[in-house]
């Protein structure tokens, strides 16, 4: 029922990217601008790829904290429906995701972890039968069939974030996203 991204949505890897940029490039980019699409546009894809092992590797993932409100949000949404963590990480990297969820006592809230590395998130969401997609990267909220889904663009900590596209709801906190997700599920059952 709910498909939820991992990096920048559950695990605060966006903060880790922001710290890496400050340390390695002397650039001060806020975490809410550290999704792949926005950040690669600011620093270039080559630099983004150079940063990736330091952010997405097992040790880095293990040490990063949760996005504010993520644990409560997952537990609340799990009471309303099935949660699939849908990550753009490869299947091998998704193992880090599973370990992270277990280490943060969230494994019981999540039905499964699925990699979208070989497909689009929209295609995966539709194949899995989910009705809501929550992601921090706007590119994952677009695509064929997307308009049939409730799409929530989570931008934690952003002040006045720009609109993400037609039919996409921008949320700057997890409580906002939970409210929107539950309203979407409730409207489907009416």
| Domains detected in the chain | 2-11+66-189 (3.40.50.1000), 13-63 (no CATH)
Q: What pLDDT shows up at residue 190?
A: 55
- Residue of 138, 177, 152, 154 lying closest to 40 (CA atoms): 138
Say if residue 20's pLDDT is above 60.
yes
Q: What's the chain's length in residues?
A: 190
Q: How does residue 81 score in pLDDT terms, banded at 50, 70 and 90? A: very high
More confident residue, 60 or 68: 68
Q: Please give the residue that has the higher pLDDT: either 98 or 10.
A: 10
Q: What is the mean pLDDT of the chain?
A: 92
160: left (phi over 0), alpha (psi -120 to 50) or beta: left
137, pLDDT greater than 60 = yes
Question: Which has the closest alpha carbon to 86: 111, 58, 52?
Answer: 111
């Amino acid at each position: 029922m709910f498909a939820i991204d991992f990096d920048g949505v559950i695990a605060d890897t966006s903060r880790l990217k922001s710290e890496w940029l400050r340390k390695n490039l002397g650039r001060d980019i806020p975490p809410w601008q550290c999704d792949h699409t926005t950040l690669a546009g600011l620093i270039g894809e080559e630099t983004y790829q150079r940063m990736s092992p330091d952010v997405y590797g097992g040790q880095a993932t293990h040490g990063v904290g949760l996005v504010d409100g993520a644990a409560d949000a997952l537990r609340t949404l799990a009471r309303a429906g099935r949660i699939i963590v849908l990550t753009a990480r490869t299947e091998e990297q998704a193992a880090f995701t599973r370990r992270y969820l277990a280490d943060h006592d969230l494994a019981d809230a999540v039905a499964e972890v699925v990699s979208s590395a070989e497909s689009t998130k929209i295609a995966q969401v539709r194949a899995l039968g989910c009705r809501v997609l929550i992601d921090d990267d706007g590119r994952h909220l677009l695509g064929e069939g997307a308009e049939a889904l409730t799409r929530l663009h989570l931008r934690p900590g952003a002040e006045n974030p720009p609109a993400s596209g037609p039919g996409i709801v921008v949320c700057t906190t997890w409580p906002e996203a939970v409210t929107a997700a539950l309203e979407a599920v409730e409207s489907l059952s009416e």
